[in-house]
Amino acid sequence: MKTVFITYNQAYGELILELLGHLNIRGFTLWESVQGRGSYRGEPHYGDHAWPTLNSAILTVVMDDKVDVLLRRLHEIDMEAESQGLRAFVWGVEKWV
């Protein structure tokens, strides 16, 4: 199993949730409003008067065979409008209860 942490511009919210549903990824934790800035070209998303947009984030644990398709679909979404901001990070799950 793998943990996938997805951060994205709030504008992608419905699209990301639809993707998870389509891939039958049911369990996740969602943070509606998070602040951040991309590490290379991303503009700040601080939710203030100067940088009014915000991000959201999802943490999900998925079976190994779903990771590549999830990442590929997320990358396709990101390529449609790179300036919006979408990133996904993956790490292994050692134990769970």
Residue-range domain boundaries for the chain: 2-92
Which run of H or of E encompasses 56? strand 55-62
Q: How would you class 22 by CB atoms within 10 Å of its CB: exposed for 0-12, middle for 13-18, buried for 19 or more? A: exposed
Global pTM? 0.92
Q: What is the pLDDT of residue 68?
A: 98
Per-residue pLDDT of the chain in tens (97 residues, 90 and over written 9): 999 999 999 999 999 999 999 999 999 999 999 998 887 777 889 999 999 999 999 999 999 999 999 999 999 999 988 778 899 999 999 998 8
3-to-30, 52, 60 alpha-carbon distances in Å: 14, 29, 6
Q: What is the pLDDT of residue 58?
A: 98
Statement: 2-92 belongs to CATH 3.40.50.261:
no
